Structure 1
Amino acid sequence: MNGLVRKARWSANGRWAGREWTAVRRSVHSAFEESGPERDTLVQSLKAAAAAIIAWALTGWWLQAPMALLAPWTAVALVSSTVYQSLRTGSQQFGIIVLGTVWASAAMAVTHDQTMAAMLLTLPFMTLLGNYRRFGSQGILGASTALFVITYGSSSASNVGHRLLETLIGAVVGIMVNALVLPPVHLRSVRDRLRRLARGSADLLDAMAHGLREDNAWEKAGNWHTEASRLSLSLQGVADARHWATEGARWNPGGRLRRTGPPPPPFTEDVRWGRVCTRILAVARTLNESGGDGRGLPTPPPCFLVELSDVLEQAARMCLEEAEHPASATDDRRRERAFDKAWVTHRALADNFQHQEGPAAAVGGALLLETRQLLMDLAPRP
C-alpha cells in the first residue's frame, strides 16, 4: 500500500515538474520571439544585474569602500517596474538606510562597540520603525542595514560616511540605469493582456462548443466552470497592466527615448471584457449545474445543446478575431461577418427554445439569455 502511495506521489510530482518545465520553455520562447511581459521581465532583470555591476565597480573596485556591498544591493532594488517606482522606492530606501546606519552607529558608540548591547538598543526600534507605512516595503532594510553596521563593529564617523555614500551611489546608479536604459513604459502591456484574455476566452468557448457534441459532455462541465473562473485572473492582469501603463508614464523619459507604439485601448475595453467573462462564467456554471445525476437543474434536450454548441463556436471565432487581428477597417468587416454568422445561429437556438416545456425550459432560457448578451458584448463597436 505504501508503495502505491509513493508511486502516485512521484507520478504527481513528475507531472508538476513537467508542467513547470513547459511553462518555463514557453516563457523563454516568448521572451526571445515576441514583445510582451516575458521580454519586459528579461530586460528589467538584465538591467538590474548591470546596475549592480556598475555600482560595485564604482564603490568596491574604484573607491575601495569598506562596505561596498551596500551599493549593488541598493542598485538592484531600484531597477523597478517603472521610473516613478524607482524614484519613490529610492527615496524610501535611502531614508530608512540612513536611519538604520546612524542609529546603529550611535548605539555602537554608546555601548563602546559591544555587539549584543548595540543590537538590544537598535533592532527592536528599527524593526518597529520599518512597519511605518511611509517606508513601504523598504522598511525592513533599516533593520538589515543596522545589522550590517553592528556586525562590522565600527562606528567611526568615517565609516558611517562611507556607508551613506555607498548607499547613495547605488541609488543613483539604479535610478539612472532604469530611467535611461530602455526605460519601461508599459503602453503595450494593456493591449497584450487584452489579446491574451480574448485568446483564452476563445479557447474555452471552443472547448465548450466541441464538448457539447460529445457523449461525455457533462463530465467536462466542471472543468469548463473552473476555466471560466480563472478568466477573472486574466482580467485582473489587464487591470494591473492598466495601472502600470498609467504609472509608467510619470517622470519617464521613455516617450522620447523609445518607440512606445500606439496608446493602449480605452478603459471601456476592460469593462466590456469584464462583461464577456461574466457571461462565459454564467454559461459554464449553468451547464455544470444541469448535467443530470442529481446536480440540481434539469438537462436541456440534445437538439438544443447542438444549437447551443454552434452559438458558442461562433462566439469563440469572434473572440479569436479580436485576439489575432488589430483594429482596422478590414478587420472590422471581418468581425461584422463573424457577428452576422453568430446571430444566425442564435436565432436558430431561439427557435429551438420555443419548443421546450417543463423545468428544462428554465435552463434553456437562462442559456439563451446569457449567450445573447455574450454576443452583444462581442459585437463590433460602431
Structure 2
Amino acid sequence: MVKLVQRRHEPVVVQTVRSATAATLAYVAALWLLGDSPPPLLAPLTALLVVQVTLYATLTSGVRRVNAVVAGVLIAVGFSALVGLSWWSLGLLIISALVLGHVVRVNEFVPEVAISAMLVLGVSHATDLALSRVLETVIGATVGLLFNTVFLPPVWVESAGEAIEELAGRMRALLLDLADEIGGHTTVERAAARLHQARRLDHDVVQVDASLIRAEESVRFNPRVKEGLLSRIVLRTGLDTLEICAVVLRVTARSLTDLAKERTDEPLFPPAVASALRELFLHMAGAVDSYAVLITTQISTSAEEAETFLVTELSAARTSREHVAELLLATVREHPRQWQLHGALLAEVDRVLDELDVEKRSMRLAEELDRYSTERRDRYPRWDRLQRRARRLRDLAAGALRRAGR
C-alpha cells in the first residue's frame, strides 16, 4: 500500500486511472444517446485510445481516430454499393483502406481505417452500421477530449527535470569513481568496469529523452503553463549538452582502459599527475551536478546560486586542467610511451568543460529560440501576420493612452 501511494504520481498510474474513468464515462454517454442494443462498446474503446498522458497527445489522437473511422466507413459504404463482399473485394478493400489511411495522415490509426471498413462491409445493413460506428467513435472521442480538457493532465516538467538530475548524478558518480581509482594501480578489469558504466549512460539518455518528450507535450496547449516554450527549450538544450558530455566521458573511460592495458604492472600516472587528475575530475563532477541543477531549477534565486557554483567549478577545473597539462608534458618528455592517450585525455576534458560553459549555454538558448520563431513564421505565416498586426495595434493604443495622459 505504501508503494502504491508513493507511485500515485507516476505517468503509468495516472494514465491508468484517467483512461479507465474516461472510458466508463464514454460508455455511459453512448448508452444515454444511442441505447443498449447493441451495446455501444466502440465509444469506451475510442475514449481509451484517445485519452493520453498529455493534452496535446489527446487532441491529436482524437482527431486522427475520428478521421480513421470516417475514412474507413466511407470507403466501405462505396464498396458495399458497388461490389459487395467477396474474397477479391475484401483484399482490394484492405489495400485501398490502408492507402487511404496514409493519405489522410492518421499515423498510428492506419489499421483502424481497414478495420472499420471490414466491419461495415461484412454486414447486410452497411449504412446503419456505418452511421452507428461513426456516432460511437465521435461520442468516445468527444468524451475523451472533454475529459482531458476539464481534468487537465499533469505537467510532467518536474519529472523530466528529476530524470535529468538523475542522469547528471550518474555522470557525477562515474567521474568520482575515476577520480578514486586513478591514483593507484588500476587493473584492466576495473578500467573495463568503468567503461561499461560509461556505456550504460547511453541507455539512461534514451530514458531521459522519453521523459522529456512527455514533458514537452504536456506544456503544449496547457493553460496552466505560462512559459512552456522556454521550459521546453531550456530542458532540451540541457539534455543535449549532457548527452554530448556522456559520449565524451565514454571516450575518456575508453582512453583510460587502453592505458591500463599498456601499463599492467605499474600505475597509470605518476603520483603528482594522478593527484592533479583526481582534483580535475572532482571539479568536473561538481560542474556536471551544478549544470543539471541550473537547467532544472525554476526559482530564480536557486538558479543564480547554481550558476555561480557552476562558474566556480568550471574555473577551478580549467586551472586544474592547465596544471595537469604541464605535468603530462613533462612526463611525456621523460617517458613518451602512449603519449597520444595523454593528449586524447586532455582533449576530452576540454570538450566537457566547453559544453558546460555558461556563455555557450546562453548562446545555444538564443539560437534555439530564434530557430523556433523562424520555423513558426514559415509554418504559420498568416498567424504570424495577425500577431504582428495585433502588436502594432497594442503599441498604437498604448501610445495614444500615454499622450492622452499628458
TM-score w.r.t. the length of structure 2 is 0.70
Aligned AA (1:307): A
Aligned AA (1:160): A
Partner of 1:66: 38
Residue identity (%)? 23
Partner Cα separation in structure 2 for residue 55 and residue 45 of structure 1: 15
Q: Is the contact between residue 111 and residue 117 of structure 1 (CA under 8 Å) also seen in structure 2?
A: no
The alpha-carbon deviation at position 344 of structure 1 amounts to: 5.2
Partner Cα separation in structure 2 for residue 185 and residue 134 of structure 1: 28
Q: Is the contact between residue 283 and residue 367 of structure 1 (CA under 8 Å) also seen in structure 2?
A: yes
Partner of 2:258: 289
Aligned AA (2:349): T
Partner Cα separation in structure 1 for residue 21 and residue 231 of structure 2: 30
The alpha-carbon deviation at position 206 of structure 1 amounts to: 2.0
Q: Is the contact between residue 211 and residue 217 of structure 1 (CA under 8 Å) also seen in structure 2?
A: no
What does residue range 181-200 of structure 1 map to in structure 2 within 5 Å? 181-188=151-158, 190-200=160-170
The alpha-carbon deviation at position 355 of structure 1 amounts to: 2.5
The alpha-carbon deviation at position 240 of structure 1 amounts to: 5.4
Aligned AA (1:219): E
Q: Is the contact between residue 108 and residue 155 of structure 1 (CA under 8 Å) also seen in structure 2?
A: no
Partner of 1:350: 325
Q: Is the contact between residue 83 and residue 89 of structure 2 (CA under 8 Å) also seen in structure 1?
A: yes
**1:301-329 deviation per Cα after TM superposition (whole angstroms, max 9, x unaligned):** 34334532332233223323444674434
RMSD after superposition? 3.9
Q: Is the contact between residue 216 and residue 232 of structure 2 (CA under 8 Å) also seen in structure 1?
A: no
Aligned AA (1:224): R
Partner Cα separation in structure 2 for residue 278 and residue 143 of structure 1: 44
Aligned AA (1:86): T
The 3 A distance-change label for structure 1 pair 46 and 340 is same
**1:247-278 deviation per Cα after TM superposition (whole angstroms, max 9, x unaligned):** 5444333438xx98993563553453344234
Q: Is the contact between residue 65 and residue 162 of structure 1 (CA under 8 Å) also seen in structure 2?
A: no
The alpha-carbon deviation at position 168 of structure 1 amounts to: 0.4
**1:274-299 deviation per Cα after TM superposition (whole angstroms, max 9, x unaligned):** 4423431331221232222699xx98
User: SS at the partner of 1:253?
Assistant: coil
Structure 2: segments with no counterpart, 5+ residues: 363-406
Partner of 1:301: 269
Partner Cα separation in structure 2 for residue 370 and residue 255 of structure 1: 39
Partner Cα separation in structure 2 for residue 106 and residue 329 of structure 1: 65
Partner of 1:51: 22
Partner Cα separation in structure 2 for residue 246 and residue 332 of structure 1: 24
Pairs aligned (count)? 346
Q: Report whether the alignment pairs 1:328 with 2:303.
A: yes
The alpha-carbon deviation at position 75 of structure 1 amounts to: 1.0
Q: Among 134, 140, 156, which residue is 2:111 paired with?
A: 140
Structure 1: segments with no counterpart, 5+ residues: 1-24
Partner Cα separation in structure 2 for residue 29 and residue 199 of structure 1: 26
Q: Report whether the alignment pairs 1:75 with 2:47.
A: yes
Q: Greater CA deviation, 159-168 or 349-358? A: 349-358
Partner Cα separation in structure 1 for residue 88 and residue 339 of structure 2: 78
Q: Report whether the alignment pairs 1:165 with 2:143.
A: no
The alpha-carbon deviation at position 121 of structure 1 amounts to: 5.1
Q: Is the contact between residue 132 and residue 139 of structure 1 (CA under 8 Å) also seen in structure 2?
A: no
Q: Is the contact between residue 184 and residue 267 of structure 2 (CA under 8 Å) also seen in structure 1?
A: no
**1:209-260 deviation per Cα after TM superposition (whole angstroms, max 9, x unaligned):** 233346454213334334434434544556556655555444333438xx98
Partner Cα separation in structure 1 for residue 216 and residue 173 of structure 2: 30
The alpha-carbon deviation at position 79 of structure 1 amounts to: 1.5
What does residue range 1-382 of structure 1 map to in structure 2 within 5 Å? 31-32=7-8, 39-60=10-31, 63-66=35-38, 68-105=40-77, 107-108=79-80, 119-120=90-91, 122-132=93-103, 134-150=105-121, 153-188=123-158, 190-213=160-183, 215-235=185-205, 247-255=217-225, 263-264=231-232, 266=234, 268-292=237-261, 300-303=268-271, 304-323=273-292, 326=297, 327-339=302-314, 341-343=316-318, 345-357=320-332, 358-378=336-356
The alpha-carbon deviation at position 100 of structure 1 amounts to: 1.9
Aligned AA (1:366): A
Q: Greater CA deviation, 57-66 or 172-181? A: 57-66
Aligned AA (2:303): S
Aligned AA (1:364): H
Aligned AA (2:341): V
Partner Cα separation in structure 1 for residue 67 and residue 356 of structure 2: 50
The 3 A distance-change label for structure 1 pair 291 and 70 is same
The 3 A distance-change label for structure 1 pair 135 and 265 is closer
Q: Is the contact between residue 42 and residue 140 of structure 2 (CA under 8 Å) also seen in structure 1?
A: yes
Q: Is the contact between residue 108 and residue 115 of structure 1 (CA under 8 Å) also seen in structure 2?
A: no
TM-score w.r.t. the length of structure 1 is 0.73
**1:132-164 deviation per Cα after TM superposition (whole angstroms, max 9, x unaligned):** 47121111101222343355x342533322211
The 3 A distance-change label for structure 1 pair 178 and 227 is farther
Q: Is the contact between residue 65 and residue 166 of structure 1 (CA under 8 Å) also seen in structure 2?
A: no
Partner Cα separation in structure 2 for residue 133 and residue 214 of structure 1: 65
The alpha-carbon deviation at position 363 of structure 1 amounts to: 1.6
